[in-house]
Amino acid sequence: MTALKLYVREGCHLCEEMLNDLQALLQDREVLLELIDVDHSPVRLREYDSRVPVLESLEGDCLSEYLLDESLVIRYLDGH
């Protein structure tokens, strides 16, 4: 099963938008989506503070930042 990490923060409208778009995109696929709140870790906060939302593969490849890049995510998922 493929897995993705979505770095978010509470109250972020871009994060909510990407999550909704991503859930619609993944609706018919078996993908584990891990939501990670950047505000719960000083290390993650330093790395992702001004970049959220960020969607990454488990390998750490950035698949989307701010807005969902549907074509890139589909190409990534189809390659797994």
Percentage of the chain beyond pLDDT 90 is: 95
The domain that holds 7 is classified in CATH as 3.40.30.10
Residue 76 lies in a domain: no
Residue in 2, 39, 3, 5 with CA at minimum distance from that of residue 19: 5
Percentage of the chain beyond pLDDT 70 is: 100
Looking at the structure of the chain, the number of domains it has is: 1
Q: 7 vs 3, 46, 47, 78, 79, CA distance in Å?
A: 13, 12, 10, 22, 22
Residue 6 lies in a domain: yes
* pLDDT tens-digit map of 45-62: 999 999 999 999 999 999
- The phi and psi torsions of 5 (rounded to 5 degrees) equal -115, 130
Domain that holds residue 57: 2-69
pTM above 0.85, yes or no: yes
The per-residue pLDDT for 22 is 97
Residue 74 lies in a domain: no
